[in-house]
Amino acid sequence: MSALGNVDARLVLIVDQFEQLFTLNTGKDGKAAQQALITALCAAAGNAVGPAQQPPSLVIIAVRGDFFDRCADYPELANALRESQFVVPPMTETDLRLAISGPAEAAGLSLGRGLIETVLSDLGETGRGDAAGVLPLLSQAMALTWEKREDNELTVHGYGEIGGAASAVETSAERAYGGLSPARQELARQILRGMTVAGRDGKLTRRPLARADLYASLATEARTEVDTVLEAFARSPTTSCSGRGPG
pTM above 0.75, yes or no: no
What's the pLDDT score for residue 240?
41
- Domain finish residue from 140, 162, 184: 162
Residue 245, domain member (yes or no): no
**Lowest-confidence region among 2-6, 88-92, 142-146, 178-182:** 2-6
With a CB cutoff of 8 Å and minimum separation 6, the contacts of 56 are: 10, 11, 44, 47, 49, 50
CA distance 164 to 124: 12
What's the pLDDT score for residue 158?
93
State whether 213 and 230 are in the same domain.
yes
State whether 11 and 40 are in the same domain.
yes
Distances (CA, A) of 15 to 19, 37, 38, 191: 10, 11, 11, 27
Residue 240, domain member (yes or no): no
Residue 246, domain member (yes or no): no
State whether 50 and 106 are in the same domain.
no
State whether 49 and 118 are in the same domain.
no
Any idea of the CA torsion for 58, 62, 66, 71, to the nearest 10 degrees? -30
What's the pLDDT score for residue 8?
61
- Domain finish residue from 135, 162, 189: 162
CA distance 147 to 138: 14
Residue 243, domain member (yes or no): no
Residue 244, domain member (yes or no): no
What's the pLDDT score for residue 61?
93
Band (pLDDT 50/70/90 cuts) for residue 2 is very low
- Which pLDDT tens digit goes with each residue over 114-160? 999 999 988 876 554 455 567 778 887 888 899 899 999 999 999 99
Residue 231, domain member (yes or no): yes
- Which pLDDT tens digit goes with each residue over 208-238? 777 888 888 777 777 778 888 888 887 765 4
What average pLDDT does the segment 102-121 reach? Answer: 93
* Number of domain units in the chain: 3
What average pLDDT does the segment 56-66 reach? Answer: 89
C-alpha of 129 from chain center: 19
What's the pLDDT score for residue 1?
30
- Domain finish residue from 53, 83, 113: 83
Band (pLDDT 50/70/90 cuts) for residue 239 is very low
Band (pLDDT 50/70/90 cuts) for residue 4 is very low
Domain limits for position 207: 170-235
Distances (CA, A) of 47 to 36, 57, 58: 16, 9, 11
Q: What is the DSSP annotation of 111-155?
A: E-TTHHHHHHHHHHHHHTT-TTTHHHHHHHHHHHHHHT-BTTEE-
What's the pLDDT score for residue 228?
87
- Which pLDDT tens digit goes with each residue over 10-60? 789 999 989 888 887 777 778 888 999 999 999 999 888 777 778 889 999
Question: 142: closest CA among 123, 159, 125, 130?
Answer: 159
pLDDT at 162 over 50: yes
Q: CATH number of the domain at 130, please.
A: 1.10.8
State whether 79 and 130 are in the same domain.
no
pLDDT at 244 over 80: no
